[in-house]
Amino acid sequence: MRIEIVKDYEAMSKRAAYIIASQIVIKPDCVLGLPTGSTPMGVYGELVKMYQEGIISFSQVTAINLDEYYGLDKDNEQSYNFFMREHLFKHVDIKEENIHVPDGKAVDVEAECRRYDNIIKKVGGIDLQLLGIGVNGHIGFNEPGEYFEPLTHLVELAEETIKANSRFFPSIEDVPTRAISIGIKGILGAKKILLMANGEKKAEAIYQMIKGKVTPQLPASVLQLHPDVIVLIDERAAALLRE
């Protein structure tokens, strides 16, 4: 793991955008694995700016999103599909057929999960996987558990996750309790991984991810096994690493 500590959210977002942009420049038809949430909003803003300035194009890029709430239609404003369109896709020249988000309304969830894993296989795997991290150490929606779930699967969201994500909903009762998420094999299969975190709320998870043992109780710890991971964090998320 290569750990990069930057001053604040803005610096983290700019640096992450540079890393992603360089991936796109090196391989214009690259496959990007993408998260939603508060962490990547700034990065997506920076990427949109770079696109508008003519520095990068998404015309050959494939995007594979990590997860989607189960039960939400793609047009629902709380869905991750909607989030991605609002924050990135509708502002750049990515082709509709190259956008992939799990279908939260799938009737046959198992078939949807297999379809999603097959997409990852068909596009030749993920070149660069961007990740956030949950306060409980989840990546994608791989929640703490007894074992690492390898494939795309339906997840019961942890109470902490529902609580953390309730800030995007009118009330906590409105937060979906389940999601479809890429599994750990899908994430570790990426050639390169860039995990970002900011703020003191993430400091404990970051500390455990880097210094703790590899355990499914803290899913992000599995990244210790990957040969090419950048952990890009701000000073507050890095607070416990300095002690």
Give the C-alpha separation, 169 to 176, whole Å.
10
Question: Cα–Cα–Cα angle for 45, 241, 165, nearest 5°?
Answer: 45
Structure tokens at 63: 């995007």
- Active-site residue list: 67, 136, 138, 143
Q: Is 60 helix (H, G, I), strand (E, B) or coil?
A: coil
39 binds ligand F6R (CB under 6 A): yes
219 binds ligand F6R (CB under 6 A): no
Cβ-based nearer residue to ligand F6R, 37 or 55: 37
Cβ-based nearer residue to ligand F6R, 62 or 102: 102
136 binds ligand F6R (CB under 6 A): no
Q: Is-contact 33 22, C-beta < 8 A?
A: no
Cβ-based nearer residue to ligand F6R, 127 or 143: 143
Interface with ligand F6R (CB under 6 A), residue from 140, 186, 189, 219: 140
Q: For the residues of 90-150, what is the DSSP string, one character each?
A: GGS---GGGEE---TT-SSHHHHHHHHHHHHHHTTS-SEEEE---TT--BTTB-S-SS---
Tell me which stretch binds ligand F6R (CB under 6 A): 2-10, 29-37, 51-59, 97-105.
29-37
Q: Is-contact 56 88, C-beta < 8 A?
A: no
Interface with ligand F6R (CB under 6 A), residue from 30, 139, 157, 190: 139
Give the C-alpha separation, 48 to 90, whole Å.
10
- Name which of residues 61 to 80 contact ligand F6R (CB under 6 A): 66-67, 80
As measured in angstroms, the least distance from the Cβ of 131 to ligand F6R is 6
Tell me which stretch binds ligand F6R (CB under 6 A): 43-51, 93-101, 129-137, 229-237.
129-137
What would you measure as the largest C-alpha separation in the chain, in angstroms?
49
- Name which of residues 80 to 99 contact ligand F6R (CB under 6 A): 80
Nearest residue to ligand F6R, by Cβ distance, number only: 132
Which has the closest alpha carbon to 132: 16, 11, 1?
16
Strands 178-181 and 153-156: antiparallel
Interface with ligand F6R (CB under 6 A), residue from 42, 132, 186, 189: 132
221 binds ligand F6R (CB under 6 A): no
Which residues in this chain contact ligand F6R in the complex, by CB under 6 A?
35-39, 66-67, 80, 132-134, 138-141
